[in-house]
Amino acid sequence: HEAHSTRALGLQRATDLEIFLAARERGAVVITKDSDFLALLQTHGTPPSVIWITCGNTSNARMREVLSRSLETAVDLIQAGESVVEITDE
């Protein structure tokens, strides 16, 4: 799967809404730890879909482990029509 950071897209100083709308325009999925994107989904609807990571403060190495373990399932759920997929550290 192709992924881009907000920095790589020139959005490092963008608001959550600007990121949300940029993802919508690009047909992208937002992967975030920020629950504000769930509120944006409630207000603006989909797209984009959101993969919400709820494993708390953790190291980058642990975050990569969690994503590696769960990403394929999350993508399958998004492709099946889920607007939000939560990934936990369990």
Residue 81, pLDDT score: 97
pTM for this structure?
0.91
What integer pLDDT is reported at residue 84 of this predicted model? 98
| pLDDT, tens only, 2-51 | 899 999 999 999 999 999 999 999 999 999 999 999 999 999 999 999 99
28's CB contacts (< 8 A; 6+ apart) are 4, 22, 48
Cα torsion at 70, 73, 74, 76 (round to 10°)? Answer: 160
pLDDT one-digit tens code per residue, 73-90? 999 999 999 999 999 987
